[in-house]
Amino acid sequence: SDLQLKDPSLLVEAAYVAGAWVEATDENAINVTNPATGAVIGRVPNLGAAETDAAIEAAAEAMKAWAQRTAKDRAQVLRRWHDLMMEHQDDLGTILTAEQGKPLAEAKGEIAYSASFLEWFSEEARRAYGDITPGHAPDKRLLTLKQPIGVVAAITPWNFPSAMITRKAGPAFAAGCAMVLKPAIQTPLSATALALLGERAGLPKGLFSVVTGSAGAIGGALTSSKTVRKLTFTGSTEIGALLYEQCAPTIKKLGLELGGNAPFIVFDDADVDAAVEGAVIAKFRNNGQTCVCANRIYVQAGVYDEFAEKLAAKVATLATGNGFDEGITFGPLIDDAAVAKVKEHVEDATSKGASVALGGEAHDLGGLFYQPTILTDVTSDMLVTIEETFGPVAPLFKFDKESEAVEAANDTDFGLASYFYSRDLARVWRVSEALDFGMVGVNTGLISTAEAPFGGVKMSGLGREGSRYGLEDFMETKYVCMGGI
C-alpha cells in the first residue's frame, strides 16, 4: 500500500478471530478502495458463519475471566487503548481518510472522538452501582446488582468507521462483556487497526473479534446464536428492522442506532450568522453522510432570504476534493449508490418545482464527487423531505408560525437529531419539549459527545450510546432477596 504511515504495522490486512489474525489470501479477499481515487489500499478476508461461530465461542470463554476482574483493572486496559489511539492519531486518521474519503483533519477529529469513548467508559466502569432498597419484611433485605449482559454482537457502518466501534466496545468491555464485531465492508481497516491496538493495550485473546466479510452470513450467525445476548447495530432502519426480526427467536436485547431525518429550524429571533455556521456543520459534515445531519432546513419568513443568501455564500467558499489535499471540506461520497441517491433526490425536487440556489450537479472532479447543493422552494411531497438524502444537499423551506415549523419537523417516521436557533428563552423551552426527537441541538449544529446520551425515538432506534445510560445498556439488573436476617 502507498499510505504514508509512521507505523506501517497499523495497516492490518487481516481479520481478528478468537484471538488469531486471519489474513486475506488471493482466493479469499475483499479489496478496500479509496473512494476519492478508486485505488485499492488493502484487502481483508471474506469470512462467514464458521469464523463467526468460532469468535462467539471464544468470546464466551474469554468473558468469564474478564467479568471477574475488577472494574479498575478493566478500566486500565480501556485507558491504555485510548492512549494508544491518541499516540497513533495521525496514522489512524490516514487509514480512515483512505478508506472512507472524509478530509484528513475531520478523520483525525473522528479518531479523537472515537478514543474519547474508551476514555469515558474507562471512567464509567467503576460507577456501575447497584442499590439496596428498604425491604417489605423485617427479616429481608433487597439488593440490586449490575452484571454484564453477556456476549455482545456489534454491526457498524462506514460513515464513522472508528467511532461507531468504540461507542459500543467501550461500554461493553467496561461492563465486563465480550464482543464480536462485523465492521462495514467499505471500511474494515479502521476496525482491524483498532483491534491491533486493543491487543497491544491488553485486551485478552478472544474477548474482541473483528470478523470481516459477508454481511448476511456473519449477521445471520450473530443473530441466531443463543450465546450472543445483545446486538448493538448502527446503520439503516431497513437493515435494523431485519436484524430486530432475526433477534426475536433468541430474545436478545437490542441497541439500534438507525436513520434520521433531522430538522434544522431557524426562527426570526435567531442569530442568523450563528445559524449559518451551525447549518454548515450540521448539514455538510462528512459530506452530509451522518445520521444526525440536518436533512430539512426550515427558515422563518423574516430571515429566510438573508439565511439562504448567507448559507449559499458560505458554502460556495468551501472546497471539494481528495481528503488528503489541503483545505478540503467536502470529500467524495462513499460509493455509486450514494451518488445515485443524491442525484435522484435533486432531480425529484427540481421536477416538482424546487430551485437550485447552489450546486445541483455531479462535480467536475467526476467519480464519487458531487457539488454541495442548496435547494429552495422545497415542499413536503419531495423525496428530500421524506427520506434521508445522506449527501451534500440542503433543502430550504419557508415557514411563518412556530407551530407550523414544529408540526412539519415532527411529521416524519424518524426521531434522531433535531436542531433549532432562537434567542427567546420561552421559545427555547417550548420547542425543545415539543420536538419528537431523541436529541435537540439549541443554537448549535454539533451535539455528539461521549458524555451525552446519543439515540433516537420512533423508527430511529432503541437505546442510548455514550453517557452513563450507554453503560447501563450493556448490563443486566439482578435482584437478590436476602431473607432470614
Of 294, 161, 285, 238, the closest CA to residue 460 belongs to 238
Asked if 38 touches ligand ADP (CB under 6 A), the answer is no
* Burial of 469: CB neighbours in 10 Å, binned 0-12, 13-18, 19+: middle
Task: Determine the interface stretch with ligand ADP among 182-190, 199-207, 280-288, 434-442 (rule: CB under 6 A).
Answer: 182-190
Nearer to ligand ADP, 53 or 61 (CB): 53
Are the C-beta atoms of residues 88 and 205 closer than 8 Å to each other? no
Number of H helices, E strands in the chain: 15, 24
Q: Residue count at the site for ligand ADP (CB under 6 A)?
A: 13
Q: Give me the least distance between CB of 187 and ligand ADP, in Å please.
A: 9
- Could you give the angle at the alpha carbon of 381 between the alpha carbons of 418 and 334, nearest 5°? 60
Taking the complex as a whole, the smallest distance from the CB of residue 180 to ligand ADP amounts, in Å, to: 12
As measured in angstroms, the least distance from the Cβ of 400 to ligand ADP is 36
- Residue in the structure block whose three cell numbers are 421524506: 386
Candidates 77-85, 154-162, 297-305, 419-427; binding stretch for ligand ADP (CB under 6 A): 154-162
Residue nearer to ligand ADP on the CB measure, 184 or 203: 184
161 binds ligand ADP (CB under 6 A): no
| Distance, C-alpha 146 to centroid of its chain | 26
- Name the catalytic one among 106, 257, 388, 402: 257
Binding to ligand ADP by residue 157, rule CB under 6 A?
Answer: yes
Nearest approach, Cβ of 48 to ligand ADP (angstroms)? 12
Count Cβ atoms within 10 A of the Cβ of residue 311 and give its class: 0-12 exposed, 13-18 middle, 19 or more buried. buried
Structural contact between residues 289 and 158, judged by C-beta atoms closer than 8 angstroms:
no
CB 183 to ligand ADP: min, Å: 6
Residues numbered 201 to 260 that lie near ligand ADP (CB under 6 A) are: 215-216, 219, 235-236, 239, 242
Residue number with the smallest Cβ distance to ligand ADP: 219
Of positions 5, 60, 105, 185, contacts ligand ADP by CB under 6 A: 185
Residue 155 lies near ligand ADP (rule: CB under 6 A)? yes
- Identify the CA nearest to 124 among candidates 475, 480, 476: 475
Has 110 been annotated as catalytic? Answer: no
Task: Determine if 30 is a binding residue for ligand ADP (CB under 6 A).
Answer: no
Contact (CB, 8 A) for 227 and 60: yes
Beta-carbon-side half-sphere exposure of residue 38 (alpha carbons within 13 Å)? 6
Distance CA 293, CA 447 (A): 11
User: Is 184 one of the binding residues for ligand ADP (CB under 6 A)?
Assistant: yes
User: Which is closer to ligand ADP, CB of 49 or CB of 107?
Assistant: 49
Looking at the Cβ atoms of 18 and 181, the one nearer to ligand ADP is: 181
Q: Residue 340 Cβ, how far from ligand ADP at the closest point, in Å?
A: 13
Report the distance separating Cα 396 and Cα 412, nearest Å: 16
**Residue 116: partners with Cβ closer than 8 Å, 6 or more residues away:** 82, 449, 450
Query: Site residues (CB under 6 A) for ligand ADP?
Result: 155-157, 182, 184-185, 215-216, 219, 235-236, 239, 242
Which residues are the active-site residues? Answer: 257
